[in-house]
Amino acid sequence: MRVIEIFHSLQGEGILSGTPSVFVRLAGCPLRCRWCDTRYAWDFSAGDEYGMDDLVEAIEKHPCGHVVITGGEPMVGPDLAAREGLADLTSHLRARRMHVTIETAGGLFVPDLACDLMSISPKTTNSAPAEPTLAVAHERRRTDLGALAGLIEAYPCQLKFVVETADDIGEIHRLLDRLPPVPSDRVLLMPQARTRDELLARAPAVVQLCRQTGYRFGHRLHVLLWSDRRGL
């Protein structure tokens, strides 16, 4: 399994925001979102190859019961099928009584993962890359209603939407209307921001949307604390 980085920090997003966690960032993502803050994890051949025992040992070095498997896109391998070794990794972590969160864009349904929180961030049109060829591929891959529904029904989940402007809410409502019901306190709206300044500038409009819709404001604690510094 190719790993970009393993580090111990605080969960910055979602219902477990603020929880000390070990982050395992796997290599590769096919989406190329315009505002992606982990471009260094796009390449499936980036990072270092880990065997399962070495990977679990590297995670266990940190005195922490929460693990966040992230990316890139941790569910998907280079062939765009389910990532080899992911189910095995989650089983090893579950056997050690660790709480496992998987951060995914939700483009692929993968069954039988030992996952305590499936943290799904469906991508909307505001994530489209500027480059036309990439934009076409992104549009084709970014939303799979069957995969999203499968994940929502199979796992404890939260849905995190990146909001750039108040106009995004219509698209979010339309998507949610086509999915199995998710409680409003499990739907989070997060300001689109890679830096602290962007976060603070966009937050008030998102706060207002949360007040109007009943959805939850999505912290981006790591951006607030460390702006765009990597590995924190």
Task: Please report, as ranges, the residues that interact with ligand SF4 according to CB under 6 A.
Answer: 29, 31-33, 36, 38, 71-73, 105
Q: What are the phi and psi torsion angles at 160 (to 5°)?
A: -115, 120
CB nearer ligand SF4, residue 56 or residue 74: 74
CB nearer ligand SF4, residue 120 or residue 203: 120
Structure tokens at 207: 């706060």
Contacts of 157 (CB under 8 A, 6+ apart): 117, 118, 119, 120, 151, 182, 186
CB contact at 8 A, 228 and 199: no
Tell me the pairing of strands 117-120 and 48-49. unpaired
CB nearer ligand SF4, residue 56 or residue 117: 117
User: Please, what is the minimum distance in Å from the beta carbon of residue 19 to ligand SF4?
Assistant: 20
User: Please, what is the minimum distance in Å from the beta carbon of residue 37 to ligand SF4?
Assistant: 7
How many other C-beta atoms are found inside a 10 Å radius of the C-beta of residue 229? 10
User: Please, what is the minimum distance in Å from the beta carbon of residue 67 to ligand SF4?
Assistant: 18
User: Please, what is the minimum distance in Å from the beta carbon of residue 42 to ligand SF4?
Assistant: 6
Provide the 3-class DSSP secondary structure of residue 119. strand
User: Please, what is the minimum distance in Å from the beta carbon of residue 69 to ligand SF4?
Assistant: 13
CB nearer ligand SF4, residue 38 or residue 126: 38
User: Please, what is the minimum distance in Å from the beta carbon of residue 121 to ligand SF4?
Assistant: 7
Contacts of 204 (CB under 8 A, 6+ apart): none
CB nearer ligand SF4, residue 19 or residue 38: 38
How many other C-beta atoms are found inside a 10 Å radius of the C-beta of residue 132? 8
CB nearer ligand SF4, residue 13 or residue 116: 13
DSSP string, 24-53: EEES--S---TT-S-GGG--TT-SEE--HH
